[in-house]
Amino acid sequence: MSDKYLRVFRIALMGAYIVIPFAAALGTYQGWLFQSSIPSTASSNVVVVGLIALVAATMLAEHAGVFARAASGRDALISVAYWLGAIVWVAALVRFVPDNRTGGAVLIGPMSALMLGGVFHLSRFAGTFTRSWTAAIMTATPVPVAPRVSVSSSTDELPPQSGESATPDRVDIAANIWMIALRFLGGATAFLILAQLLRGTSYDGFPRDAFYVGAILLGALAIRSLPRRAPVLSLASDGISIRRDLCAIRHLSWPEVIGFEMKSSVGNTFLVIHVKDADALIARCGPISRWIMGQSQAMFGSPVRIPVAWLKCDPNWLWQKANEMLATSRILQRPSEAADR
């Protein structure tokens, strides 16, 4: 994420923390927060969902480096201090303020500011812990593969599986559509189970509907992936073409590619494509894709990685074929480079 987007994210987040206490005080003074016409469950659901969204946004901001790094233990102590301050504020003034809307606004405004201050620092502490935890377990490790074959050797030693078509200067690899569909359906099923667990609870409202919407979206993605027969990955004389489902980068020319590596993370194997200028490659994409590719760069050492399970081919064959075509492209580049000199 670029500095511009980080700055906008930080301003919006801090603005939310500043506006909410004023809104709580104004709502108390005007009587909006305690209207008998509004069901208590509806108002509590809005508060819970809003608080969860605020905590998640703060954790994401801390994970992305929006704020200056600080000792996580200090954030935890500061959050406790803020909450103790809120308790002291209410205990000290509750007997002196009038029993009306004005008194409620005087109590609730500063109290909500102190409580949100504690939430902010505790969320930063959780974000720091999450960043350390993911850095420890979300580490890609190299996967052993068969030795590389020379360019002159026959490619018939490792024949492609069904779903791949090979010509002397082009290899098309189809998507493993059933594996993709099963993973989407598994996520949709998990969302449906969570939605059913919320039925009859105090959160039987917006959170439950959100899980239903997530299940519908994942189910639609699963259905959408079934009829697509176009190659998901193509290795040709002009470079590597990747379907957008797998990577934000649609095409890499061979001069941009340094090499290939098989790595495993969280039980999944990926074909990592090392490139010459990763920063320039990431800069081509939009803000969301840039963030995803930045995470891939930190974990895999490259912004471009392709899940092998989503490809209908043998991993060893893919590894050898990719290296073979890269070596061939370099051999073909040598005469042109010599002529330019």
Domain that holds residue 182: 177-225
φ and ψ at residue 229, rounded to 5 degrees: -105, -5
Alpha carbon distance 219, 210 (integer Å):
14
Is 99 in the same domain as 51?
yes
Tally of structural domains, the chain: 3
The number of beta carbons lying within 10 Å of the beta carbon of residue 283 is 11
**In this model, does residue 110 exceed pLDDT 70?**
yes
Q: Worst-scoring range by mean pLDDT, 44-48, 234-238, 250-254, 285-289? A: 44-48
Is 260 in the same domain as 327?
yes
> How far, rounded to the nearest angstrom, does the alpha carbon of residue 158 sit from its chain's CA centroid?
36
Is 195 in the same domain as 240?
no
To 5 degrees, how large is the angle CA 255–CA 261–CA 264?
Answer: 145
Q: What is the CA radius of gyration of the chain?
A: 27
For residue range 121-131, list pLDDT tens digits in order.
Answer: 888 888 887 77
Region 4-30 average pLDDT: 84
pLDDT band at 153 (very low <50, low <70, confident <90, very high): very low
Is 291 in the same domain as 212?
no
Is the pTM higher than 0.85?
Answer: no
Which of 88, 116, 137 represents a domain boundary (last residue)? 137
Q: Which helix (H) or strand (E) holds 236?
A: strand 233-236
For residue range 182-228, list pLDDT tens digits in order.
Answer: 877 888 888 888 888 877 676 666 677 777 888 888 777 777 666 56
pLDDT band at 102 (very low <50, low <70, confident <90, very high): confident
Report CA torsion sign: 69, 70, 75, 76: positive
**Residues 6+ positions from 110 with CB-CB distance below 8 Å:** 21, 86, 89
Q: In what order do the strands lie in the sheet with 239-242?
A: 164-167, 170-173, 233-236, 239-242, 251-252
